Amino acid sequence: MAIDLAPQTVAEDVYQQIRRNILDGRIAPGTRVSIRSLAQSVGVSTMPTREALKRLHFEGLVEFDRRAVTVTDLTPGDLRELFAIRLTLESLATQWALTEITSTDLTELRRILDLMDDPHMDPPQWRELNREFHQTFYACGNSRYLMELISNVWDRIQPYMAIYSSVVDNFPEAHRQHEHMYRLMADRDLDGLLAATRHHLEHTADSVIRTLDTAHDTHRKTSMNFEELDVASFHTMIGKGEVTSATLTAWYLDRIADIDSVANPDGLQLNSVVTLNPAALEDARRIDEQYARTGALVGPLHGVPILIKDQGETKGIPTSFGSRAFADYVPESDATVVERLRSAGAVILGKTTMCDFAAGWFSFSSRSDHTKNPYDLDRETGGSSAGTAAAVSANLCLVGIGEDTGGSIRLPSSFTNLFGLRVTTGLVPRTGFSPLLHFQDTPGPMARNVSDLAAVLDVVVGYDPTDDYTTVATSAGVGDYLDAIADVDADTVADYRVGVLTDAFGAGLDQELTNGVVRAAIERLRDSGTAVVDDLVLGGLPEWVQGTSLYTISSKKDIDEFLAARPTAPVTSVEALVAAGDFHPLTDLVVDIADGPSIPEDDPEYLPRRLRQDEWRRTLMTIMADAGVDFLVYPTVQVPAPTRADLAAKRWTALDFPTNTVIASQTTMPAISIPVGFTDVGLPVGLEVLGRPLAEKDLLRFARAWELTASPRRQAAAVARVGA
């Protein structure tokens, strides 16, 4: 009977692949992963994977059970023991090799050392050459058995050498030691060489263990899963010594490289992060060091990795405002919001994608093109805070900062199952954020949970003497948002009355997909004790929207004044951008803005529309007062996230896209988009909750109660971590 050897052949190949990944540090010590996902990663079934794992378990490289495998994680004591064994074996190998070494061997060792002296040597190459140097020398002793023993010990240490060599930028001391040993080999000085070998191995052991103590967790993917982490839990873990800011920062940077970066052909290429902060890890370590010295958090956002919409200026980090013309523009100072985040202990991971100068509802940008929606990679994330929405939802940061002029925080939050808050205009300073309409602009937080929204809001809200709109932040009751939600439970939804703004639902096949989810959420609120007043009608919603829109009248002046105030800006006007073609062709509003008046007040529509905004605010507040409700509720956006094909076909323009977010924006009222469910094909839907001016605390309390009632947050399957 013929014997099928294919399974053994496959198992051998799988064994070699997994073993190499472990030895090279690509699957780091402590990593736990399901056998199924590990099999998928090497493109085979679980049977040959299990066979390979049995061999690796026998070698001591992994531990595994029925469903998952963990790469063996050695303690510093284990490592010192292995280095002691290595010293014993290599001392014997040195004695045997030195009597047999030839001039040809010395020439080969010289060649390897010369290669290792290359200042541009990358860590994996250095690590391989380091092993080759020692192996070439010990092989002179002509003992296969001794070399097998040494090789086995090397393999057990190799993953930690991979971590060590990936952290250290250069190896001058190691190179000096190798040169010293080489001279002793050439001189046939056995006593000197044995002493140098002992010193070299003790130095290496100390360096590896010290690296693991200070940066091990920051440069490997651990078994810890930081997905859906919140600020409070992160700080609790810090207090218990379970994690550091550098650990979390490195985890997010790894994840960005894996699933977001367009440079990774094997990833999802979400394209939400346009620029990384090269000092992010250094900043995180500095925060960790301060905590180690003092035992106290440096601020309310201690060590929290945050991504900032590329609309906000960041000192030392390129800020493009979504425009390719500004790809190399590096601000000399931070936006006020960024400055406050840093002071509170946040780590700025980098900048997120946005459409050109925030002039649109979508992600298309001349700087970064399209950002994919984590819930459907063929659909829009929504804009203009597209990158922040996709990044927060895909767990590429702990929390994110967006900016909202017409709905640019809430619309993408609705499309990505997030909580997104637009505050009363002026509560959060706009200084350092490129404007679109200064009387509507406001930066703000985007988060996976309400508590993180409140935590960030506490940091960024407040008066800024460089922004006179922020005088509103001196009003009574502003601030202490995290405290305001501390006592909220699921029953708190019964403390509020909401009015359903019926004519904000829209009609059509796409609208009905959204309407069904929103109405189901309203019924759940009703069943949970919220008083619901149905069928409130504004009347003439399209006319209200059109009659209060000032983008084509005022945005040109606002943007031009912002650019003119920056001496190093490569372009100083919207007209120049359009003339040069430095905008994405689907960002159609940019052209309309460039055609607008240089002096808005000269346009006959300016004053009527500004007055109409005030009238609309009074009308909405009158509806709320007459109905005796705390909030108005309606779909954040009337349709689900559109496909890229929809946008390429120009199904909508910026000025006619059916988003309800303009209701709050063009009346400067606060509103929050809360996730309330998914369409039949899994697209997230948001409910907008509109409050009276300065109603942020009640909005957050209501949203937190809904969160506890419905647990609406669901991670996108495409970006969920496999295994662990």
Give the whole-angstrom CA distance, residue 414 versus residue 671: 12
User: Which residue among the candidates 245, 384, 385, 673 is catalytic per the annotation?
Assistant: 384
Q: Which residue has the tokens 């929050």?
A: 672
Residue 637 DSSP symbol:
B
User: Which residue among the candidates 166, 261, 408, 451 is catalytic per the annotation?
Assistant: 408
Q: Residue 143 catalytic?
A: no
Please confirm whether the linkage preceding 384 is cis (ω < 30° from 0): yes
Q: Pseudo-torsion of CA 83, 163, 115, 117, nearest 10°?
A: -90
CA dist list (Å): 253 to 213, 250, 261, 501: 20, 5, 10, 42
Give the whole-angstrom CA distance, residue 451 versus residue 296: 21
Q: Per DSSP, what are the bridge partners of residue 497?
A: 531
Residues 6 or more apart in contact with residue 20 via CB below 8 angstroms: none
Tokens of 593: 């803005």
607-622: buried (b, 16+ CB within 10 Å) or exposed (e) per residue?
A: eebbebbeebbeebbe
User: Which residue among the candidates 221, 309, 556, 557 is catalytic per the annotation?
Assistant: 309
Q: Residue 673 catalytic?
A: no
Please state, as a whole number, how many other Cβ atoms lie within 10 Å of the Cβ of residue 59.
Answer: 15
Tokens of 706: 């809904």
Give the whole-angstrom CA distance, residue 658 versus residue 651: 11
129-165: buried (b, 16+ CB within 10 Å) or exposed (e) per residue?
A: bbeebbebbbbbbebeebbebbeebbebbbbbbbbbb
Q: Residue 408 catalytic?
A: yes
DSSP three-state, residue 498: strand
Strand ranges inside 360-427, DSSP E: 372-373, 376-380, 399-404, 419-422
Give the whole-angstrom CA distance, residue 310 versus residue 363: 12
Q: Catalogue the active-site residues.
A: 309, 384, 408
